[in-house]
Amino acid sequence: MFKINENYLKLPGSYLFSTIAKKVAAFQQANPDKRIIRLGIGDVTLPIAPAIVEAMHKAVDEMGREETFHGYAPDLGYGFLREVIAEKDYKALGCPIEADEIFVSDGAKSDCGNIQEIFSADSRIAVCDPVYPVYVDSNVMAGRTGEYDSETGVWSNVIYMPCTAENNFVPALPEETPDLIYLCVPNNPTGTTLTRDQLKVWVDYANKVGAVILYDAAYEAYISEEDVPHSIFEIEGARTCAIEFRSFSKKAGFTGVRLGFTVVPKDLTCGGVMLHSLWARRHGTKFNGAPYIEQRAGEAVYSEEGNRQVMEQVAYYKKNARVIYDGLKEAGYTVFGGVNSPYVWLKVEDGMTSWEFFDYLLEKANVVGTPGSGFGPSGEGYFRLTAFGTYENTVEAVERMKALKK
Ligand code: MLT
C-alpha cells in the first residue's frame, strides 16, 4: 500500500492567496453589483513593455524556422541571458558575480521553494516573522519544521525573528543558531528594508556560525534609497554565505511569463562541496531550462529601450505605493513600507484581528488586501496592500478606505 508524504497534512488548508481568492469569489457571488478592487496578491496589471514584446515576437519567429529553431534550452540558462545579468545586475554594482554562477529558472517562487532540497533534512531554518509563506511551507513539506501550534501559529522547529513596528522591522540576530536564514529585502510583506550596514551584520553572523543566507531580492527594482543594497553580493563576505533569488515578475511584469534566476557563488562550500554543484545537479535533473522565448524576453529587459520602459512601469507602481501610503496616513492609518517596495503595511483598526479587518474592508469598502497574520504570528494586527493595481483603482481604493475613517 502506498503512503503519502504526511508532512503535507500539517500544512494549512490552502495557500494564503488561494484562501483569499475563494473568500473574494464568494463575496462577489453574493454581491454581484459591487465593484471589488483587488489589492491583495502582488500581481501586476500593466501589459508587457513594447521592447520586450518585440523581442518575444522575434523569438517566436525564430522558433518557426528550421535554421533558427531551438529545442531544449541549456538547463542553467542561455549564455546571452546569464552574461547580460552578470554584467548589468552585478558587475555594474561592483559585485563579484560571474555568468556561470547564475541559474536561470521559471521564477523566484520555484527557486525559493526548491532550494531547501540541497540542504540536509535536519537543517534548522530561521525566518523573519511575518514571512513570505513559501519559505516555511516548502520546509514543512520536507519535514523540517516540527509541529504546528494552531493557537500561536508557530512551528516548533522554526526560529522566528519578529519584525514589527517595535523593532522598526529589523530582525535581531537569533538566540538559537540556525543553518539556513531566509531574508527578503525589500521585504514581502512589510515593504521595509535593511541598509547595507544592517545587512553586513547578517553576512558576518552567517559566516561566523556557518549558516547560509537565502536572500530573496525579488523586489530590488523598487529600491529608491541610496543605502539599501540591490544585492547581498554588494556586501563583503557574502560570497561564502549567501544565495540570491531574483525575479522578472515585479520588475518587468512577468508574473504570467515566468522567468527568474538564482545566484550560487562558487565560494559557498560545505566540507569541500560547492553548493553550486548541488544546485546545478538538481537543476539538470528536475528542470529542462526556461523557454527560449522567455529568455529572449529577459534579455530585452536589459536593452536600453527595454530597461527604460520597465523602469517606467516600476515608477508607475511606485506612484501607486505613494498614493496608498500618503492617503492612508493622512486619513489616520498607521502605515509602513511603500518607499522601496510595492507593498504598504498598515495597522488594522483597534480591536480587530487581521482577518476581521479583511472582512470589514471587503464588506464596507469592497477592497481586498492581505491579512498580516497570513504571513506569520507577528503579522497579526497588520494588513498588506499592493501597489500593483491600476492607478485609478488605487486612488479609488484609498478614497473608499478614507471614507471608512469619517
Ligand atoms: C505576493 O503577493 O506576496 C506575491 O505576489 C506572491 C508571489 O510572488 O508569489
Instruction: Look at ligand 1, atom 5, and give the residue with the nearest C-alpha.
Output: 42
At residue 16, the pLDDT reads 87
CB of 188 closer than 6 A to ligand 1?
A: yes
The phi and psi torsions of 82 (rounded to 5 degrees) equal: -60, -35
Q: How far is the CA of 166 from the centre of ligand 1 (A)?
A: 25
Question: What is the helix (H) or strand (E) element at residue 105, kind and residue range?
Answer: strand 102-105
| Segments of the chain with pLDDT less than 70 | none
Residue 285: CB atoms within 10 Å: 8
- Residue showing cell 500581481: 43
Residue 406: predicted pLDDT: 83
Q: For a substitution probing ligand 1, which of 24, 134, 188, 259 has the most ligand atoms within 8 Å of its CB?
A: 188
Geometric angle at alpha carbon 404, from 401 and 406, rounded to 5°: 120
Q: Tell me whether the omega of the peptide bond preceding residue 74 falls within 30 degrees of 0, making it cis.
A: no
- For residue 343, the model assigns a pLDDT of 98
List, as one string, the DSSP characters of 125-169. Answer: EEEEES--HHHHHHHHHTT-S--EETTTTEETTEEEEE--GGGTT
The Cα–Cα gap between 406 and 401 comes to 9
One-character DSSP codes across 321-384: HHHHHHHHHHHT--EEE-SSSSEEEEEPPTT--HHHHHHHHHHHH-EE-EEGGGG-GGGTTEEE
Segment holding 53, helix H or strand E: helix 50-63
pLDDT for the residue 253: 98
Q: If you write DSSP's letter for every residue of 1-15 in order, what string do you get? A: -----GGGGGS-SS-
Give the residue, by CA position, lying nearest to ligand 1 atom 4.
42
CA separation for the pair 123, 7 (Å, rounded):
16
- Which residue from 39, 41, 109, 128 has its CB within 8 A of the most atoms of ligand 1, so it is best to mutate? 41
* DSSP classification of residue 145: S
Tell me the residue type at 197.
D
Decide whether any atom of ligand 1 lies within 6 Å of the 41 Cβ.
yes
Taking only the tens place, the pLDDT of each residue in 161-184 is 999 999 999 999 999 999 999 999
Alpha helices in 161-286 (DSSP H): 196-209, 249-252, 275-286
| CA atoms of 162 and 130, how far apart (whole Å) | 7
Burial class of residue 204, CB neighbours in 10 A (0-12, 13-18, 19+): middle
Cis peptide before 189 (omega within 30 of 0): yes
Q: How many CA atoms lie within 13 A of 297 on its CB side?
A: 27
The helix (run of H) or strand (run of E) holding residue 194 is: none
